[in-house]
Amino acid sequence: MLNIADTMIVGIIGATGYAGAELVRLLAGHPEITKIVPASVSFQGERIEEVYPNFQGVVSAVLLKPEAAVDKADVVFAALPTGVGEAFAKACMEQGKNFIDLSADFRFDDDEATFTAWYGKPYIYPELRQRSVYGLPELNRARIRELAVRGPLIIGSPGCYPTGASLGIYPALSLGIAASGAAIIIDAASGVTGGGREPSRSFHYPECADSLAPYKVGAHRHTPEISRNLTFMTCASSSPVIFTPHLAPMNRGILSTIYIPLAEVCRLEQRAQPRPPAKAVTERAEEIRERYAAFYEHEPFVRVLPKGGIASTGRVRLSNFCDISVHLDQTGTMLIIATAMDNMVKGAAGQAIQNMNIIYGFDERAGLTAPPASF
């Protein structure tokens, strides 16, 4: 039973939400963690294994009030709605403790105007952004390490949609494969766990089962986060982003299909004939796939699939992997990237743990090495 205090104690505020419970599940198997201190406002005083019976015999703990988790832990995770976690982050900084936030509160650094425009609220403690860093390791690992040695750190863990989209686009922009300034289209579908544990009509089983539908078309709040990531990738003004999310009738997973116009130097020659031969398209697609694979060669959780592979949510379920497959349209002018990941792991809890591992100098894969479920 993992309920003995020793050296590395982790606090989880919001431990009874989907992302919070996933943090409990994954941290219970982390080799460096000796105690989990879960906190919950809604279930305070109950036991975590009573709220989630799957933890019976694995994790045993009383759900405390959030302030107690901050006081007792060495590092604190917050799986809370946006706009709630700043006070806990402030308390952690005052006590010299790292704070890893899964909401949007710290994803925009000091850009309060963008945050307020999309989330409808100002920063409560804007000075905290001096100690915060955006936590997508594949983009920002060096910066996380640099700041971690200077004192307690706040991690703004990325959104699930921006993670899948950004990882799919990053090589195309960084390697000059994408046409400069051209619009990038992202169609993404997420499982219903992305909406959280609190019930609502749109996530009610009869409403979403056997149905696929877009939502917040042209106005989803993850759009500016994706745009900021693209700007980071290019160190210049980002390409326009057209992002449309969809609610899919599945519990877990995010599949993103990304359309990226190719730079002229990457396009197939079309002057001699209206459509290039299939062999030429296949060869060019494989060339770009190999460049993607080399780009992510040393990333432990990004898998560029072999030739002929197609990214699928079922093949990353319960894992921290993001699978990427590379394709071209039949004209050889449009790069089509598919990315798949578990929205509750690489899109939330797993990525947060990955950030903790970086901060403390643990093996970045610690607690996250289980392979995806087979079915």
Out of 160, 208, 266, 322, which one is annotated catalytic? 160
**CATH assignment of 161-343?**
3.30.360.10
Going by their DSSP bridges, the two strands 154-156 and 132-134 should be labelled as parallel
Confidence of residue 275 (pLDDT cuts 50, 70, 90): confident
Query: The pTM is what?
Result: 0.94
CATH architecture for residues 9-158+346-360: 3-Layer(aba) Sandwich (3.40)
Question: Locate tokens 């745009």: which residue?
Answer: 227
Clarify whether 160 is annotated catalytic: yes
Q: Is the pLDDT of residue 186 over 80?
A: yes
Going by their DSSP bridges, the two strands 154-156 and 98-101 should be labelled as parallel
CA–CA distance, 270 with 267 (Å, rounded to integer): 9
| pLDDT above 90 coverage of the chain, percent | 79
- What tokens were used for 150? 């200077």
Question: Locate tokens 């610690």: which residue?
Answer: 366
Domain ranges within the chain, ordered by starting residue: 9-158+346-360, 161-343
pLDDT computed for residue 265 by the predictor: 76
Model pLDDT for residues 105-114, shown as the tens digit of each residue? 999 999 999 9
- What tokens were used for 5? 């205090």
DSSP letter for each residue of 91-112: HHHHTT-EEEE-SSTTSSTT-H
CATH fold match for the domains 9-158+346-360 and 161-343? no
Model pLDDT for residues 24-76, shown as the tens digit of each residue? 999 999 999 999 999 998 999 999 999 999 999 999 999 999 999 999 999 99
